[in-house]
Structure 1
Amino acid sequence: MLKSILKDDRGGQLLLTLLLILAFVIPALNMLVAEGHPLHVETYTITLLGKYLTYALLALAVDLIWGYLGILSLGHGAFFALGGYAMGMYLMRQIGDRGVYGDPILPDFMVFLNWKELPWFWNGFDMFWFACLMVVLVPGVLAWVFGYLAFRSRVSGVYLSIMTQALTFALMLAFFRNEMGFGGNNGLTDFKDILGFSLQSDTTRIVLFVASAIALMTGYLVCRAVIASRLGKVALATRDEESRVRFIGYNVDQIKLWIFVLSAVLAGIAGALYVPQVGIINPGEFAPLNSIEIVVWVALGGRATLFGAVVGAVLINYAKSWFTIELPEVWLFALGGLFVMATLFLPEGITGFISKCFSRKTPAKEASL
């Protein structure tokens, strides 16, 4: 089964192998190699790598619908943030009476705002399984409702992109309001532990990193399985000639809807893994600029390759980390420059350029033989 999914996908095979190696090697270099040794990997570095892997899963979700279905979503940051808020609500409930105000039920921001009781939609988030369920359901249901209305009305192209961005912007404005019960401008933070384990512990950080790697590998295999299936073939045909696919008799709206929902769920899972590693979630994650950045990751890495989206996400976020430390005022200009360069000189992304280089060398070698 796995062999058939990854058939003719050398990039995916290499990516999964690399992730599997990293999942074992990075923790080993942290726990078994003494501090100060050149091969020792700091816990901070592991956390940073874990964050990059969650971004890679998010990019994978966008590439699934943009690269293989032709839907350019400028709102996947919303699904990412919703998954993050679901996990953040669980982490806030775990604080209990260890908060600043010592209330065993109400989070600190609710006590500060003089809330008398826990809102109904916070009920159940003291249980990990319930939070995990909400991580999947909340982005999935929102994507289903939005997609059902949009695809049924035959909204497509730039209009659909604008609608997804408007959805993200509306959610950002809503979550900024203190009355919503999600921490307002400050969001949710000051997390203590997860499943009883301290989030400041090196072991917990390592487990979260490994969980992010496993989630990325699983997400990649799920996306590949969809693409390799009959559904994926119809999705590709829909991307290229939607009217013909409709004429043949396929329910194009349903195909778009379910792949869109799957993509949103993957983004929500990425957000849930992101929050405990960075220690905060606030309405800024809904910012339209974030969703545009995700598209840049996919475009630079290589649209419709999946592994290219992962490469683009990791490379750009590494560059962002470097620029924000060394040259913080230059980062936005650098991001814009990357997008322009990718459009002009790398229309098929980094992975597409590398594939072309290898395909040119191969015939030359065969001819020499």
Structure 2
Amino acid sequence: MFRSILKDDRGGQVMLSLLLVAGFLIPALNLLVPQGHFLHVETYTISLLGKYLTYALLAMAVDLVWGYLGILSLGHGAFFALGGYAMGMYLMRQVGDRGVYGDPLLPDFMVFLNWKELPWFWHGFDLFWFACLMVVLVPGVLAWVFGYLAFRSRVSGVYLSIMTQALTFALMLAFFRNEMGFGGNNGLTDFKEIIGFSLQAQSTRIGLFVATVIALMASYLVCRAVIASRLGKVAVATRDAESRVRFIGYNVDKFKLWIFVLSAVIAGIAGALYVPQVGIINPGEFAPLNSIEVVVWVALGGRATLFGAVVGALLINYAKSWFTIEFPEVWLFVLGSLFVLATIFLPKGVIGLFESIKKDRAEEKEATA
């Protein structure tokens, strides 16, 4: 089955192969190579790479709706943050009486704010399976409600983009409020363990990295399967000529809705994997700027390729880490410049540039043959 999905996807085959190698090689270089050796990979580096891969998963989710459906979503940061909060709530429940205030039931911020009992929406988050269900369900349901109302009303183009941005901004303002019960401005942090394993342990860090690699590979295969299916073909046709697709009898709103929901679920999973590796989730993750930044990753890597979004996310976030250390005051200018330059000189992204070079070489060979 995988062969048929990846038959004409050379870039995806290379990416999956590299991820598979990284999933085995990087933990091996951490565990088997002694510290001080130039091949040794630090545990901190593994967590950093894991964070980058969660960003790559988020970028792929955005590319699914933007590249193949034509919906420029500026609100996927909201789905990412909701998945992160769902996992963060589970991690907070695992702290128990090891918190600063020693309350076995209430998280520290609730004790500080003089809450007397655990809010109803926190119940169940002491169970890992329930938290995983919420990671998928909460972003998925929100995307379904939002998409159903927006697509049914035939909202599209820049208006839909503005609405997605307004959604994430509204959620950010709501989560900043202490009364919401999500930690307010400080968010959720000071996590101790996940499913019984210490988050500070080397083995746990490696396990989270491997889990992120597996999630990225599995999500890529799911997205490719969708694109190769009838659903994906109708989605691409809708992107290119929605009125024609409607005219021949397809329920365009239904197709758009389900792909939008799938994309939101993938973004939620990315957020859930992000939180235990970074150690914090706060309302800042809802910031509209974060969602716009994801669009830059996709545009630079290559829209409507999926693996290009992964490449763009990894390249820009590595550059961000380097610039914020060496030249922190210029990073935002660099990011804006990258988007402008990519739009003008690389309309198909880095992947599109390589494909153009490959095509030119093939034409030269045919001309000289």
Counterpart CA distance in 2 for 1:326 and 1:213 is 29
2:105 counterpart SS class: coil
SS in 2 for 1:74: coil
The aligned residue for residue 208 of structure 1 is 208
Partner of 1:299: 299
Name the % identity: 84
Aligned to 1:35: 35
Deviation (angstroms), 1:363: 2.6
Instruction: Give ranges in structure 1 of 5+ residues lacking alignment.
Output: none
Alignment of 1:134-173 (within 5 A): 134-173=134-173
Letter in 2 for 1:181: G
Equivalence for 1:230: 230
Amino acid at match of 1:28: A
Does 2:88 align with 1:88? Answer: yes
Matches within 5 A, 1:123-142: 123-142=123-142
Match of 1:88, as an amino acid?
A: G
Structure 2 gaps, min length 5: none
The offset of 1:7, in angstroms, is 1.2
Residue deviations 1:52-81, cap 9 Å, x none?
A: 000000000000000000000000000000
TM-superposed CA distance for 1:39, in Å, is 0.2
For residues 181-220 of structure 1, the aligned pairs below 5 Å read 181-220=181-220
Amino acid at match of 2:344: L
Aligned residues: 369
Question: Which has the larger displacement, 359-368 or 38-47?
Answer: 359-368
Q: Displacement of 1:366 after TM fit?
A: 4.0
Give me the TM-score of the superposition, normalised by structure 1: 0.99
Alignment of 1:90-109 (within 5 A): 90-109=90-109
Counterpart residue identity of residue 155, structure 1: V
In structure 1, the residue matched to 2:175 is 175
Once the two structures are superposed, the pairs formed by residues 1-369 of structure 1 within 5 Å of their partners are: 1-369=1-369
SS at match of 1:241: helix
What SS is found at the alignment partner of 1:114?
coil
Question: Hey, what's the Cα distance between the residues in 1 that align with 2:342 and 2:363?
Answer: 27
Query: What CA distance in whole angstroms lies between the structure 1 residues aligned with 2:365 and 2:200?
Result: 54
What letter is aligned with 1:78? A
- C-alpha deviation, 1:365, in angstroms: 2.8
Alignment partners' CA distance in 2, 1:362 and 1:200: 51
Normalised by the length of structure 2, the TM-score is 0.99
Find the residue that maps to 2:155 and give its secondary structure: coil
- Once the two structures are superposed, residues 208-263 of structure 1 have per-residue CA deviations (whole angstroms, 9 ceiling, x without a partner) of 00000000001100000000001100000000000000010000000000000000
Shift of 1:300: 0.4
Q: How far apart, CA to CA, are the structure 1 residues paired with 2:231 and 2:120?
A: 39
Equivalents in 1 of 2:169, 2:256: separation in Å? 23
1:335-362 residue CA offsets vs partner (Å, 9 max, x unmatched): 0010011011101100000111011112
Measure the CA separation in 1 of the matches of 2:149 and 2:294: 24
Tell me, in whole angstroms, the C-alpha distance in 1 between the residues paired with 2:363 and 2:201: 53
